[in-house]
Structure 1
Amino acid sequence: MSNSDRVVLALGGAGTLGSGIVKALLDKGFKVAVISRDSIRLERLQSFVSPNTKNNLTTIVGNVGLEEGAEQAKQALLKAVGKVTDIVSSLGFSWCQGGPPYTQTLKDLQWVIETLLFSTFVSWKAFFPLVRDGSDCTYTFITGGAGVKLLMPGTGFLTVGAASTLAFCQVLQDEYPEVPCKLNQTTPGLATPERIVPGYLNHLDLGQGVAALVERRATSHAVLMVNCPADLKSALLERSL
């Protein structure tokens, strides 16, 4: 199956991280669909991608963090694109520095867990059946480096939420060890454009890595650690992505 015959659903594709992934997939010739609650973000995404690839980008307004919303979005998606061959999930927010845990509330923690873990679970439950039985299909989770370690003081709740999502994705790989779909997870050391520092990946670099992983379909049921640009370069050269 050529890239032009494949349709990638990019969950979280309107966010900072997701936009880099969407752009890279489109540049490789994939058709890409993005669902977001925020129509303004979808408009920004249309302006962000390469002009000659816009016709291959489908945007849908919907809420994949709620069960009813995810089902509605799925029906709208299938009506718009007909099929899905690959899914990349990079749901959640890119940064949360609310302070030490004792200064925050239970409501703050609930918001983090809902945004990172619950949305990942609800969307997986809705969309995984679209690709589960296809040996040419992929489902890739982007869980982020925050799930592995505390990034800096004040980001503890981000770590708790990201670690919960990381654990959920690992559970899925163990629960479905022989599913035909290529089921993978990456935990990149990523910084947003305004916070980029040496040694961290930006969203465009990571997008190229994820696009290569989806394109090659050579890896399954793996947790791929890409903590810095050097890791990404090695992974691309060794074709482990």
Structure 2
Amino acid sequence: MANSDRVVLALGGAGTVGSGIVKALLDKGFKVAVISRDSSRLDKLRSFVSPSTKDNLTAIVGDVGSEAGAEQAKQALLKAVGKVTDVVSSLGFSWWQGGPPHTQSLKDLHWVIETLLFSTFVSWKTFFPLVRDRSDGSYTFITGGAGEKVLMPGTGFLTVGAASTLAFCQVLREEYPEVPCKLNQVKIDAGVAAPERMAPGYLNHLDLGEGVAALVERGNSSHSVFTITSAADLKNLLLQKNL
């Protein structure tokens, strides 16, 4: 199937990681849909992507963090684009430094889990059925390495939330071993930033976007975890080498 016939739903597509993925997908000729609660972030995304690809971007204001909101967003999505062939999920946030666990409240922990895990689960439950039975479709999770280590003092709740998302992705790979669509995970063990905010050890979100877009385009891997720790890993992903 040609890229121009594929419609990718980019969950979290208005964020730093997601915007790089959206731009790369559009540049490859995909049609892309993005759902966000914040219309101003969608406007910013429209101005960020290549001008020649704007007509292939569908922006929908909606909330995928609740079951009712996700269902409403799905209906609006299908009305706007008709079908979805692929999903890339990069929901959540990249940083939380609220302090040591004993200084936090249950409300703080609930918010972290809700943002990182609950939204990932609700959106998967809502949108996975759209691509599950497509042998030419895919569902790709973008996760982080914080779930396997405390990045620095005060980030413990980030580790708890990120670890729960990693566990959820593992559960899906093992619970659904033979689904027709390609089910993959890209785990980023590095910071990600836009070019103007790069720091040592960080990955350019545009480069990351190209790697993820290449994975979606090829569609020849399934139930795999691609770990990205450096620009070299991204280059390997582009070249389809094992990471």
Q: Counterpart of 1:221 in structure 2: which amino acid?
A: H
Q: Is residue 213 from structure 1 mapped to residue 183 from structure 2 by the alignment?
A: no
Is the partner of 2:60 in helix, strand or coil?
strand
Q: Any idea what the Cα deviations from partners look like across 1:89-113, whole Å, max 9, x if unmatched?
A: 0001121111111121111110000
Q: What is the deviation of 1:195?
A: 6.0
1:13 paired with 2:13, answer yes
- The alpha carbon displacement at 1:20 in A equals 0.7
What is residue 111 of structure 2 aligned with on the other side? 111
- The Cα shift of 1:240 comes to 4.6
Alpha-carbon distance between aligned partners in 2 of 1:65 and 1:169, rounded to the nearest angstrom: 17
Unaligned ranges ≥5, structure 1:
none
Report SS of the residue matched to 2:185.
strand
Give the letter aligned to residue 214 of structure 2: A
User: Is the contact made by 2:139 and 2:183 (CA closer than 8 Å) also made in structure 1?
Assistant: yes
TM alignment of 1:92-171, pairs within 5 A? 92-171=92-171
- The corresponding residue for 1:44 is 44
TM-score, normalised via structure 1 length: 0.96
Q: SS state of the match for residue 154, structure 1?
A: coil
Q: Which runs of no fewer than 5 residues in structure 2 stay unpaired?
A: none
Q: Which residues in structure 2 correspond to 1:22-61 (within 5 Å)?
A: 22-61=22-61
Q: Among the aligned pairs, what percent are the same residue?
A: 79
Between structures 1 and 2, the one with greater strand share = 2
* CA gap 1:240/1:2 in 2 versus in 1, 3 angstroms: farther
**Displaced runs of 4+ in structure 1, greater than 4 A?**
none
1:178 paired to 2:178: yes
Within 1, Cα distance between the matches of 2:160 and 2:55?
A: 39
Paired residues of 2:191 and 2:201 also in contact (CA < 8 A): no
Count of residues in correspondence between the two structures: 241
- 2:192 alignment counterpart: 191
Residue-by-residue CA offset, 1:13-72 (whole Å, 9 max, x unaligned): 011111111011001110000001111100110011111110000000000010001001
Q: Which stretch has the larger CA shift, 133-142 or 88-97?
A: 88-97
Q: CA deviation at 1:235?
A: 2.5
Shift of 1:228: 1.1
Q: Deviations over 1:133-155 (max 9, x none)?
A: 00000000001121222222221
Provide the TM-score with structure 2 as the length reference: 0.95
The whole-number CA distance in structure 1 between the counterparts of 2:242 and 2:9 is 22
Distance 2:197 2:148 in 1: 19
Alpha-carbon distance in structure 1 between the residues aligned to 2:64 and 2:233: 32
Name the SS for the 1:99 alignment partner: coil
The one-letter code matched in structure 2 to 1:24 is A
Assess if the C-alpha contact under 8 Å between 2:132 and 2:179 holds in 1: yes
In structure 2, do the counterparts of structure 1 residues 240 and 135 end up closer, same or farther at CA, with 3 Å as the change threshold?
farther
